[in-house]
Structure 1
Amino acid sequence: MFGGLAELLLVAAMLGLLLVGLLVFAATVLVRRARRGTLRTPRDGFARAGEERGLPLSEAYEQANASSAWTRTTP
């Protein structure tokens, strides 16, 4: 009677451990990149694009948003 329930709980526990392991791995990678200074954010991309065009960050951000498909298709 409890055989099916035990197997289900075992599978759920194994999937839970797998998920926890993946989350720990992702956190480790993010922390390592942040400490090295190699973590990239969207703000870095806008800053780099602005530097290439000679624009401040706010103008580079506005231009990127103005050229996105969302703003072009939204009335």
Structure 2
Amino acid sequence: MKVLKFGGTSLADHRNMIHVAKIIIEKFQYEPIAIVLSAPGRLTDFILEAIEAANKNGNILFHVRRIEDFFFLSFHN
């Protein structure tokens, strides 16, 4: 079995995600694989900032919207 690990930069936008999907499909045809995906782009930073805001004042709406925008823009640009 081969392990394929894709870092955040390789998943930063929809074009990169499609490229990663093609690699996975290609490799899967020839051998068993396990796939490890990191959080795309700056998503980990956004999540950590949301957690920090929740711990400070409970107001995470801005951070949740930023995460939503991140995914929306990743797939619509």
Q: How does the TM-score come out when normalised to structure 1?
A: 0.27
- Between structures 1 and 2, the one with greater helix share: 1
The structure number with the bigger radius of gyration is: 1
- Between structures 1 and 2, the one with greater strand share: 2
Q: Which has the higher contact order (CA 8 A, sep 6+)?
A: 2
